[in-house]
A and B are shown apart, each in its own frame.
Chain A
Amino acid sequence: MSAMFRATQILRADVAGSMKSMGQSMQNMKPDAMKGPNKQQDTVLKRGARRDPELYVLLGIMSGAFGLAGWYFGRKPTSATSEAEVSVANSSMPWEVEGDHDHEDHSKHFKYQYHPRGDKGSTKNAPSALNTVVIPNVTLPRDLRLLRAIIRAPASASSRTITRIGTTTTSGLRAPNEKRQQTRHFSILNRPPPNYPGHVPLTFIERLGLAAGSAIASLANPRRGDMIAALGEATAQPFFIRRLKERMLADPTGRRILRDRPRITSKTMSLERLRKLPDNTVGRTYAAWLDREGVTPDTRDQVRYIDDEEEAYVMQRYRECHDFYHAVTGLPIFVEGEVGLKAFEFANTGLPMTGLSLAAILRLKPAERQRMFETYLPWAFSNGLKSKDVINVYWEEELETDVEDLRARLGIEQPPDLRQTRKQIRDAKKAAKEAKQTVGVDGVIL
């Protein structure tokens, strides 16, 4: 042992010496000197180990200790306090002992028992509250409503959360959609089934995002009809579209429309037939307007984001009749005319999208804006508020009526023809510009 200590001393002295020599060799900076430090470091290490052999011993002991501890604690992680080896007498937990039921000695009956249905002859064990685990299945079948009540324990014991489904009747006059309450919360991962073909149910945040995004997109490019449509659907719920539906339900013609559910497509509105109608009829005006603007009845999107099926139809009807409103008022299809018509629709139907579309006034040229504020907005609001609901017009039946008649019946005055006005202004400007050019500079005629 004393030899080892002596070795230590020598090694320390050697290390000091070799450090000095290492420093010298670093100063040389010769290529073959690069191998030198490595070799010397290796040497230092080996020397260190030889100098302190107790390090090996320490390493060995520590590894052994930790390894032993890890093995001991790691071998049975869940049964570290297992009671399996605890020996327990058979009758030490009497509630678990299956007693002799025929025995008359009731002192030996330790399990909780009761007489089912009050029948004193038979006894049954009460279900164990300790060992029975009820795992809720969130989409329970209908006849396990009791369990659903336990799972969704009401906040106060006095409120009832079970919805009774209406009993079937022979007369069949029963609301079939007295649905039971949904068991799971509507989220992105758990969308309810669609209420009509093409329906996309949206959560509140999704609807908010759709409203904001489509508002920005339609302001940036008012030609994006699909964005305007999406904005309309996102903002109409829950109140405005319901109010429009109720206005339809309050009117006899509107109710008929909701019963019949007519659709305006190029198949149902045959344009050839409409073109043949006399000149002053609604149908002819509609066909002429479609031809003048170069659109067809099929350019309207399907309603997707409105949840109630009837309200979705109301929105679809409103969208499809939009061209008829153009025809009856005579407003053209470019932005100025659309904005004027949207103002009229806002005053008449109350849908928020029509009101929000008025923000497009910011995009108009100054002359157009002036025309808007002076003429078309006052016309739109005064007429929209005092006229009858245009949503309640059964257009399919009004195709052969006189346009003036219909306007008088609805109470709509026709605004000044915007196309004419703009054409006149354009012509006047062109004439003025030509006149200025022909005069020329220095009186020279060009």
Chain B
Amino acid sequence: MLSRPASKSSRYICKACRSAINASRKRKFGTNSITSNPTSDDIYDVVTVGGGPVGLALLAALKTSPSTSHLKCLLVESQSLAKQKSWSLPPDAYSNRASSITPTNQSFLEAIEAWRHLDLTRVQPYDEMQVWDAGNAASIQFDWSAEAIKYNAPLRTVATMVENSNLSRGLLRRIEDVGAEESMMSGWNVKGIGNGIDDPEGCNLSTWPVLELQQIGSEGSQNTKQIATRLLIGADGINSPVRTFAGINTNGWDYGRHGVVATLQVESSSDPASPFQNSVSNDDFDSALEDFLSDDPKSSSSSSQPNFENITPSNRATAFQRFLPALGGPIAILPLPNNHASLVWSTTPQIASYLKSLSPSAFTATVNAALRLEQVDIQYLFSLPTTISEPNNTSPHESELTWRLQHTKSTPPSRSPPWITALQPNTIASFPLRLRNATSYIAPRIALAGDAAHTIHPLAGQGLNLGLGDAECLSRTIRYAVEHGMDIGDLMALQGYSGERYAAAVRVSTGVDLLNKVYQIGSGDGLVGSLLGAARGLGMRAVGMVPGVREAIMRTVD
């Protein structure tokens, strides 16, 4: 990794000129006190800043592939990765940050052999997504049942719900498995990024990023390090210091909405919601059909009524999303094992703070109302006081819910959303929703991945999936560069990554943003709002009825 020795380099440029070039430094971030190049111990091939799922997946992928496993890698993370590794929750408690992983990313995780390190009893694959609108009576259902019926095959998974901590822990276990534990520096902060110097007696690292790291908890200049790297990867979140160092701007806006997350307990329906119960649907279908159509006299007697409850081809779980245009965004209930579910509700900051201040019973009543009642009723619930004053300790939200359920017409989706029974304590949280896209994902010796490159609305659950796609593509790009003898940090070597991922990310983020906008207009009541709501309903029905459109949509996010 060292460049040519000093004697040879002076053949081309004299020392004075090299010192002059030194004087002009172009890129920097933070305080740059780099006066000498790091020693060869501290010169790396790939340094990833950020130990989230994307950074960890990239490191695991690099270490798994034989072509890139020899690269000297480092992962810098400010939080404690040991704590992440030792994360554990009891089987009936689930973390409130859970993401849905698409089958493509699941195959990627299986290919890097990290999937088997996940606690698979805590993941929930689901086969169907029910989407409907509070402003009209249309609903649409995303699943692969058309293909399943056509090819007489079991249902294909739409996505799998995985807790973020479960994923991180699995990746950390895989990294340990592969023997790359030393490649991770947890508890170190990036104090500054600059370029190396063109050392006349040493290497010319003037185009190489040099990071100044400081261990968290120590002030002053103890426990600082300077490391240089051939390729610096920024997987460090929306306010990425690596991106700032690279001088890459972002486009985007804040949605003015907050995403409220929580873990809920739901009532079990007769459909098996867990993949570990006996899947009885297919056989029930056969026996029911055969009993009905056979000529035996016994089948017509009332004692052996055929059971037609489960006629769908073995659906394991369903995700539900209801658009609430008047309340700021959609509410989504994503299934978790053991009759749990993850709530993601995008709404205005006022409603978010109101929800966080509710008692658990009032909160569950409000969530049930948000899934079933008209928008005017849900809006009224937000004006109720949050303190309980009724004698029998029921919140006014529950009594309103009971009364309005009697007068609300039945909900449109063909599979009704689950009834929320309880809230797991201390799981309500909210985060602001933003749209950001970096103007470029690459720069000389810099690559951005994950939220540093793009942040999107959680409407379709694609944020983490795009990040994992980035990790997969970047590892493939690095592998290609190594196998073809290229400098992995060279801009031309990184062009493949940018070409593949930029378009994909812009497509998904624009699509999700447009969908969000469509479901935000017509949020007022009145004639115009209702007409727009009816128009949206027609659009939704059209998408559902034209054959192939749903499958095309599902394929783009698959």
Contact = CB atoms under 8 A, between A and B. Distances in A.
B380 A127 contact: no
A124 interface: yes
B414 A239 contact: no
B292 interface: yes
Contacts of A132: 293
A226 to B, nearest CB: 28
A143 B306 contact: yes
Given A159-B545, A160-B141, A167-B269, A250 B376 contact: yes
Nearest to A251: B380
Contacts of B119: none
Interface string B381-425: 001000000000000001001110111111100111001010000
B146 interface: yes
A362 interface: no
Given A132-B293, A158-B145, A177 B376 contact: no
Given A157-B149, A169-B419, A146 B405 contact: no
A255 interface: yes
A161 B407 CA distance: 24
Contacts of B379: 250
Contacts of A146: 288-289, 292, 306, 308, 311
Contacts of B409: 177, 308
Nearest to B383: A252
Contact of A157 (B150, B376, B405): B150
Nearest to A249: B376
Contact of B293 (A118, A134, A171): A134
A143 B545 contact: no
Contact of B146 (A158, A162, A176): A158
A62 B150 CA distance: 63
B416 A166 contact: yes
B167 to A, nearest CB: 31
B372 interface: yes
A31 B165 CA distance: 125
Contact of A239 (B149, B286, B411, B530): B530
Given A143-B305, A145-B308, A116 B544 contact: no
A161 B139 CA distance: 12
A404 to B, nearest CB: 30
Given A167-B269, A250-B380, A162 B311 contact: yes
A82 interface: no
Contact of A160 (B267, B289, B368, B414): B414
A175 B311 CA distance: 23
A116 B150 CA distance: 22
Interface string B208-230: 00000000000000000000000
Given A174-B419, A239-B530, A246-B374, A160 B312 contact: yes
A173 interface: yes
Interface residues of B, number: 55
User: Chain A interface secondary structure, helix, strand, loop or mixed?
Assistant: loop
A187 to B, nearest CB: 21
Contacts of B312: 160
Given A159-B544, A173-B419, A175-B372, A127 B414 contact: no
A175 B410 contact: yes
Contacts of B150: 157
Contacts of A118: 283
Contacts of B288: 146
A147 interface: yes
Contacts of B414: 160-164
Contacts of A252: 383
The 3 A-B residue pairs with the shortest CB-CB distance, nearest first, are: A158-B146, A178-B410, A246-B376
15 contacts: A116-B287, A117-B283, A118-B283, A144-B292, A146-B288, A146-B292, A156-B146, A158-B145, A164-B414, A166-B416, A171-B421, A177-B406, A178-B410, A243-B526, A252-B383
Interface of A: 116-118, 124, 127, 132, 134, 143-147, 149, 155-164, 166-167, 169, 171, 173-179, 239, 243, 246, 249-250, 252, 255, 259, 308-310
Given A158-B143, A160-B415, A249-B374, 9 more contacts: A127-B293, A156-B146, A158-B149, A169-B267, A173-B401, A173-B405, A174-B405, A175-B410, A249-B376
